[in-house]
Chains A and B, each alone.
Chain A
Amino acid sequence: MGLKLQQSQHHHSVAVKVNEQMGTKRGYTFIQSNRAWLPKFLLLWVVVMAFISAWIYKKMDADSKVRREEVLITMCDQRARVLQDQFRVSVNHVHALAILVSTFHYYKNPSAIDQETFAEYTARTAFERPLLSGVAYAERVVHSEREKFERQHGWTIKTMEREASPIRDEYAPVIFSQETVSYIESLDMMSGEEDRENILRSRATGKAVLTSPFRLLGSHHLGVVLTFPVYKSKLPTRPTVEERIEATAGYLGGAFDVESLVENLLGQLAGNQAILVNVYDVTNSSDPMIMYGHQNQDGDLALVHESKLDFGDPSRKHQMICRYHQKAPTSWTALTTAFLFFVICLLVGYILYGAAMHIVKVEDDFHEMQELKVRAEAADVAKSQFLATVSHEIRTPMNGILGMLALLLDTDLSSTQRDYALTAQVCGKALITLINEVLDRAKIEAGKLELETVPFNIRSIFDDVLSLFSEKSRNKGLELAVFVSDNVPEMVIGDPGRFRQIITNLVGNSVKFTERGHIFVKAHLAENTKPMTEAKPENHFNGGLDEGMLISGAGHFKTLSGYEAADERNSWDYFKHLVLEEELRYDASINMAIADEASRGVTLMVSVEDTGIGIPLIAQDRVFMPFMQADSSTSRNYGGTGIGLSITKCLVELMGGHISFISRPQVGSTFSFTTVFERCKKASYNDTKKPVAEDLPSGFRGLKAIVVDGKPVRAAVTRYHLKRLGILVEFANSVKIAASECGKNGSSCGSKIQPDIILVEKDLWLSGEDGGLSLRMFDGKQNGHVFKLPKLILLATNITNVELEKAKVAGFADTVIMKPMRATMVAACLQQVLGIGKKRQPGKHMLNRSPILQGLLCGKKILVVDDNLVNRRVAAGALKKFGAAVECAESGKAALKLLQLPHCFDACFMDIQMPEMDGFEATRRIRMMESQANEQMNGSIDEDSASKGEWHVPILAMTADVFLATYDECLKCGMDGYVSKPFEEENLYQAVAKFLKSNPILGS
């Protein structure tokens, strides 16, 4: 119980460890640990991306605005420059005109210019002054010269209002004018406020001057007037203002019709429609006067550019103000770019989020799976515990049954009754082994199955298996037979339990799926058949069938029962080769066997042939898969789980062989497998042969028998069993032949081949009605003789009462042997018939291993360590029974004291749970002690240690716990094995046999 607890704690700690691992794994994944933050991360991402796209939008928008402004500036400046240039050109031209007037009007005498010339000249040069609507020349006339002037020209000086000019200091009447402005001729320019100021300013500076904008006389357009002074005489290089005024002869003026002219000018430039241009006179900065453009402030007020205009008059300042017609359009590019960026980022964010969520989900699933795995493993542990418990519970009542059977066997029974009782006992034992096998299945699954290596008798294993199924096969009317080739060694070393399990599985399957015909188990050495199988495959698979058909005819095949089998290898055509060869090589094989001692491996080939329903072709490739039956109806009809074959395959492979099958639906299946056993060593063979060899009575040696059987395979099987009893066998095809042979021999040669027994197959006897007759004849002949009567025995698979009666009448008074035949059963029958041998020793069968154990343990000195007095006594008693000298110790400490080196114990059985020092601890200390001693020994006497081996007393744990974990722990602390407590003979034997083999001290 304590161990169980420890174990469960162990499991618990495993689970905890797994959890820890999971925990650390959980810690490593960043996403998993921040799963709650994921939506927030997403939101944050979206917000940040929104900000970034807004910023992008702003930046692009600002860029486009700057570009717009630059365009505006460029356009505005261009316009201003063009306007300015044109203006300058016009001004220069007016300047030129002024020089022209001064040259031709004043320096020439008489004047070379009159109104006509001036008008024509100015008209023809008007293209040079596109900005000027017209030019005119006004002469400076002082008041004193007014009359003279008026007389000379024939008109009076008029004011702007076209009235006769009032008296002033001086006048500036227009004398020459371009035709476009001819209406101003004779008007006094000094009468207009603007003009007068202009005139005064221009003659003082000697440069062109401009008026502020005003409505022009003719067109009523806004305009400015340009005035240029014309000097009479050449001026000094640096003239003063007085000198200039003095020298002034007149003024040349031109009117700029700014409005229309600028309109024309701008119309020629590109982008006219886009921008709005205003030109201002800003001489008086507080009150700018508009020269061109609309006063009302429409258009885009946000973006305005001012360009300075220099029209060549330093006293006047002009500027051009440009702005766009329309407000700045929304920047679609920026908007789209920003929006697309946002959308892409949103998608990227969503994808990342989705991926993260997926990772979280996958990891969750993973953890869930891990948890489930842990739980499943726990369930597996629970399962094996359950199996252990249940099997224990079943074992107890089974012991009752076996006990009662043992009692029954003790009573006086007829041979049949004895056979039944023995069969029941064997079956009961098989059930217990089966339960153990169920336990072993868990071991196979865990890969922890260990094969035994003990000597055993192959033939008796086959007999046992057959007896298991004898009842079933009899009920079904099946022929069940086994044949083991002679060259198969009697004893081999291997795992009898597993071997039996394999055969039981295969035969069990065959019995289950066969309704008629036979089941034939055949074993031979694989080496023998190799050349033949290689030489004859075509025959089997191609020609074999036809041949069989031809020879046997009418559906009779030369198989055991006459039914067709899937694999022809067991049919007589093939089988006789084996038998013949065996006979030929009989002597050789003995020699060979001796020669082969060195090569210790024996490869056994076993085939189990049936004539059942076969395996459907579709299902053939999944036959060895666990829980797979041919189809679902199979389990309905025949029961079973379908796990048997998979276990069988595992076991065969563990034994170093392989399994295969040939199956034909509705014909039958043949499963064949190979296993590798060790040959029994000569020495151990001699030691163990007697106790382990099947106890077949030797009283039949030298007897002669005639087997009457038409079917050679079946006859060979019968002979095989008889041969094992030491009986010489002859064949006869019919009763007649047997009788004649017997008679001939009996009469002429006397004792030569006088048969003691005649075995007749039931179907042969029944088929020939003459059989009965000839039997009588046979009897008669015998009666006439002095020799003892040969015993007549009928061989039958099943027999009805009527047939039995008939048989008795026919002369088979002696007995009927019910098949399947087994050597022991045949022996029992013959004993009854011939009266040879005595009743078998009761109980001997049950303890058939005791002698070996005795051999192993006899004279050995064994230490039993257990704190429990009763346990100690029982263990000691059990060991003593097998001849061991037992000493006891009641604690680990006492054991340590007894095992101080050197000691003479051959083995130590150690209880695990003891107070103070438990078995594990004690073992550890013992091993430590031994290793120290070994080191010293190795140091001092090399040869001795090499030959004698080292100190290593085999320590076997005694435990009530049957779990593997305990076993592992035992091995870990240096124990050699364990026996279950309370002792079971089988178990004890296994444990002891193991360390006996591996330990030279015990072996010597």
Chain B
Amino acid sequence: MDLVQLQRQLVEYRTSLYHEGFLDEQYTQLQELQDENNPDFVVEVVSLFFEDSERLLNELTKALEQQSIDFKRVDAHVHQLKGSSSSIGAQRVQKVCIAFRNYCEEQNVEGCLKCLQQVRHEYSLVKTKLESMFQLEQQILSAGGSIPM
């Protein structure tokens, strides 16, 4: 009963993530890629995403603190971030990245800073959400259940 509840909770949680736009279909695809040969695929990729994103966010912060901002570099970083976020289906991060790149193109420092803030915010949100979802999954697995797709 407990397990079933956990499973339901997970499904609901995941659905809410889709619903609120944190995740999109790409995450589903990602899940489909996970199989017996590759049991931790999603977690692996997502943690790669976390590492990469943190690195990029730091780079971005540094780049935007400079006196004369190298917008090309900023744009390249944002592009990276956008690519990896779209790869795992972190939709909201990806969207902010799109706006970010527009500001980069305009060389709008204020807009860039605002976007950086937003990206950071969205990133930490999605990170928290994903982590708690993984936690739930772990719980289910340790309880001996299977993760519902």
Contact assessment for A870 and B87 in the assembled complex, using a CB-CB cutoff below 8 Å: yes
Q: What residues on A are CB-neighbors of B148 within 8 Å?
A: 407, 410
Q: What residues on B are CB-neighbors of A404 within 8 Å?
A: 15
Once the chains are docked, how many angstroms separate the CA of A961 from the CA of B85? Answer: 15
Q: What residues on A are CB-neighbors of B87 within 8 Å?
A: 868, 870-871, 873-875, 981-982
- How far apart are B17's CB and chain A's nearest CB, in angstroms? 10
Once the chains are docked, how many angstroms separate the CA of A18 from the CA of B45? Answer: 48
Q: How large is the interface on A (under 10, 10 to 19, 20 to 34, 35 or more residues)?
A: 35 or more
Contact assessment for B33 and A407 in the assembled complex, using a CB-CB cutoff below 8 Å: no
Decide yes or no whether B120 CB sits under 8 A from chain A: no
Contact assessment for B79 and A880 in the assembled complex, using a CB-CB cutoff below 8 Å: no
- Name B's interface SS: helix
Once the chains are docked, how many angstroms separate the CA of A400 from the CA of B22? Answer: 13
Decide yes or no whether B44 CB sits under 8 A from chain A: yes
Decide yes or no whether B41 CB sits under 8 A from chain A: yes
Decide yes or no whether A185 CB sits under 8 A from chain B: no
Q: What residues on B are CB-neighbors of A877 within 8 Å?
A: 30, 33, 38, 41, 45
Decide yes or no whether A236 CB sits under 8 A from chain B: no
Given contacts A2-B79, A400-B15, contact A870 B105 (CB under 8 A): no
Decide yes or no whether A555 CB sits under 8 A from chain B: no
Q: Residue-by-residue, is B31-58 near A (CB-CB < 8 Å gives 1, otherwise 0)?
A: 0110101100100110011001000000
Once the chains are docked, how many angstroms separate the CA of A981 from the CA of B38? Answer: 21
- How far apart are A325's CB and chain B's nearest CB, in angstroms? 98
Contact assessment for B41 and A399 in the assembled complex, using a CB-CB cutoff below 8 Å: no
Q: What residues on A are CB-neighbors of B37 within 8 Å?
A: 880-881
Contact assessment for A868 and B24 in the assembled complex, using a CB-CB cutoff below 8 Å: no
Decide yes or no whether A930 CB sits under 8 A from chain B: no
Decide yes or no whether A270 CB sits under 8 A from chain B: no
Decide yes or no whether B13 CB sits under 8 A from chain A: no
- How far apart are A877's CB and chain B's nearest CB, in angstroms? 5
Decide yes or no whether A395 CB sits under 8 A from chain B: yes
Q: What residues on A are CB-neighbors of B33 within 8 Å?
A: 874, 877-878, 881
Contact assessment for A874 and B38 in the assembled complex, using a CB-CB cutoff below 8 Å: no
Q: Residue-by-residue, is B66-87 near A (CB-CB < 8 Å gives 1, otherwise 0)?
A: 0000000001100110111011
Q: What residues on B are CB-neighbors of A1 within 8 Å?
A: 79, 82, 97-98, 101
Contact assessment for B18 and A400 in the assembled complex, using a CB-CB cutoff below 8 Å: yes
Contact assessment for A867 and B18 in the assembled complex, using a CB-CB cutoff below 8 Å: no
- How far apart are A710's CB and chain B's nearest CB, in angstroms? 47
Contact assessment for B24 and A396 in the assembled complex, using a CB-CB cutoff below 8 Å: yes
Decide yes or no whether A859 CB sits under 8 A from chain B: no
Contact assessment for A871 and B29 in the assembled complex, using a CB-CB cutoff below 8 Å: no
Which of B15, B24, B48, B76 is the one whose CB lies under 8 Å from A870? B48
Decide yes or no whether B121 CB sits under 8 A from chain A: no
Contact assessment for A868 and B38 in the assembled complex, using a CB-CB cutoff below 8 Å: no
Once the chains are docked, how many angstroms separate the CA of A355 from the CA of B18? Answer: 68
Once the chains are docked, how many angstroms separate the CA of A627 from the CA of B118? Answer: 45
Contact assessment for A881 and B149 in the assembled complex, using a CB-CB cutoff below 8 Å: no
- How far apart are A732's CB and chain B's nearest CB, in angstroms? 46
Given contacts A396-B24, A400-B19, A847-B32, contact A870 B149 (CB under 8 A): no
Decide yes or no whether B26 CB sits under 8 A from chain A: yes
Q: What residues on B are CB-neighbors of A5 within 8 Å?
A: 105
- How far apart are A610's CB and chain B's nearest CB, in angstroms? 37
Once the chains are docked, how many angstroms separate the CA of A878 from the CA of B83? Answer: 16
- How far apart are A917's CB and chain B's nearest CB, in angstroms? 13
Q: What residues on B are CB-neighbors of A981 within 8 Å?
A: 83, 86-87
Contact assessment for B38 and A396 in the assembled complex, using a CB-CB cutoff below 8 Å: no
Task: Count chain B CB atoms within 10 A of each CB in A406, A871, A981, A984 and give the residue with the most.
Answer: A871
A window 376-427: CB within 8 A of B: 395-397, 399-400, 403-404, 406-407, 410
Given contacts A1-B98, A403-B18, A874-B30, contact A868 B149 (CB under 8 A): no
Q: What residues on B are CB-neighbors of A873 within 8 Å?
A: 44-45, 48, 87
Decide yes or no whether B60 CB sits under 8 A from chain A: no
B window 99-125: CB within 8 A of A: 101, 105
- How far apart are B49's CB and chain A's nearest CB, in angstroms? 5
Once the chains are docked, how many angstroms separate the CA of A395 from the CA of B24? Answer: 9
Nearest neighbor of B18 in chain A, beta-carbon distance: A400
Decide yes or no whether A271 CB sits under 8 A from chain B: no
Q: What residues on B are CB-neighbors of A407 within 8 Å?
A: 11, 148-149
Once the chains are docked, how many angstroms separate the CA of A5 from the CA of B18? Answer: 29
Given contacts A874-B33, A874-B45, contact A960 B86 (CB under 8 A): yes
Contact assessment for B105 and A396 in the assembled complex, using a CB-CB cutoff below 8 Å: no
Once the chains are docked, how many angstroms separate the CA of A396 from the CA of B41? Answer: 22
Which of A395, A403, A881, A913 is the one whose CB lies under 8 Å from B38? A881
27 A-B residue pairings within 8 Å (CB atoms): A1-B82, A1-B98, A2-B79, A399-B24, A399-B25, A400-B15, A403-B18, A403-B28, A410-B149, A843-B149, A868-B52, A868-B80, A868-B83, A869-B48, A870-B83, A870-B87, A870-B88, A871-B87, A873-B44, A873-B48, A873-B87, A874-B87, A880-B37, A881-B37, A915-B76, A982-B26, A982-B86
Further pairs besides A403-B15, A868-B80, A870-B48: 8, Cβ < 8 Å: A5-B105, A410-B148, A870-B52, A870-B87, A874-B30, A913-B79, A982-B26, A982-B87
User: Which residues of A approach B to under 8 Å, CB–CB?
Assistant: 1-2, 5, 395-397, 399-400, 403-404, 406-407, 410, 843, 847, 866-871, 873-875, 877-878, 880-881, 911, 913, 915, 960, 981-985
